[in-house]
Amino acid sequence: MKWYQLILILIPTIAYGQVQDSNYIYWTPTRKLTVADFVIKTKSLESTSSLAHFTIGLGSRQINIFNGNVHHKVFNSFLKSASWIDTTANVAVILRYHQTLFDLAEIYTRHLRRDLQLNRKRVRLDPNFPDKINAEVLAEFAKRRIKYDDETKFGSVALEQKRWELDIQRELSELDEYILK
């Protein structure tokens, strides 16, 4: 292998890597949210009991020079500096609620990865298509989140919360081939 061939192989890999920023927590199947992840701490009646800022986004894109396919880095992250928690409230329920939302966001992140992969040709031909799919997936996630909030009363109805957790884990398993690698 010639040196320039090696460079052509390595450059997209290096440029395509996920940006590491200590302000973001990227979803993984094993890393669970903790109180320490919420940078802003409040006390009773200062605000709502919590707010977590999640991002489903399109990161860098990689173009395969041999077949012209475009691959987008799709991520699901938690923004620590924009998230708060009331440390005098029921922290266990709050953390469970936000972890469930993070897991729910991962389902839609995988939907986005799947849709981009299944529509490779359109992604290649229309540079605006990934943003269109992203908007559709985010709208679906927002509707599902409202349903989750309503049915579990923001994670406080234990039986419904457990049902949602099981459904989400099942869906994540079904979409396992679209996990971030």
pLDDT in tens, 11-38: 333 333 445 679 999 999 999 999 999 9
Q: Is the dihedral of CA 166, 171, 177, 181 positive or negative?
A: negative
Q: Which pLDDT belongs to residue 62? A: 65
Above 60 in pLDDT, residue 1? no
The rounded mean pLDDT for the chain is: 86
Tokens representing residue 177 in the block: 């081939």
pLDDT given for residue 127 in this prediction: 85
Rounded to an integer, what distance in angstroms lies between the CA atom of residue 70 and that of residue 79? Answer: 27
**Mean of the pLDDT values across residues 92-110?**
97
> Is residue 9 pLDDT above 60, yes or no?
no
Give residue-wise pLDDT tens across range 103-150. 999 999 999 999 999 998 898 888 899 999 999 999 999 999 999 999
Burial class (CB in 10 A: 0-12, 13-18, 19+), 123: buried
Whole-model pTM: value is 0.84
* The pLDDT of residue 8: 35
What pLDDT is attached to residue 4?
Answer: 34
Q: List pLDDT tens digits, range 32-72.
A: 999 999 999 988 766 678 999 999 988 766 666 666 667 78
Which residues have C-beta within 8 Å of that of residue 135, sequence separation ≥ 6? none
